[in-house]
Amino acid sequence: MTKAKPVHKRILLKLSGEALMGDDAFGINRATIERIVGEIAEVTGLGVQVAVVIGGGNIFRGVAGGSVGMDRATADYMGMLATVMNALALADAMNKHGMTARVMSAIAIEQVVEPYVRPKALQYLEEDKVVVFAAGTGNPFFTTDTAAALRGAEIGAELVLKATKVDGVYTADPKKDPTATRYATLTFDEAMSRNLGIMDATAFALCRDQKLPLKVFSIFKPGALKSVVLGGDEGTLVHV
Query: HEC string of the chain?
Result: CCCCCCCCCEEEEEECHHHHCCCCCCCCCHHHHHHHHHHHHHHHCCCCEEEEEECCHHHHCCCHHHHCCCCHHHHHHHHHHHHHHHHHHHHHHHHHCCCCEEEEECCCCCCCCEECCHHHHHHHHHCCCEEEEECCCCCCCCCHHHHHHHHHHHCCCCEEEEEECCCCCECCCCCCCCCCCECCEEEHHHHHHCCCCCCCHHHHHHHHHCCCCEEEEECCCCCHHHHHHCCCCCCEEEEC
- Interatomic CA distance for residues 134 and 128, integer angstroms: 19
Residues annotated in a binding site for UMP: 56, 76, 137-144
Question: Is residue 44 within 8 Å of 225, Cβ to Cβ?
Answer: no
Question: Is residue 86 within 8 Å of 58, Cβ to Cβ?
Answer: yes
- Interatomic CA distance for residues 173 and 171, integer angstroms: 7
Strand-pairing partners, residue 71, are none
Residues annotated in a binding site for ATP: 14-17, 57, 61, 164, 170, 173
Residues annotated in a binding site: 14-17, 56-57, 61, 76, 137-144, 164, 170, 173
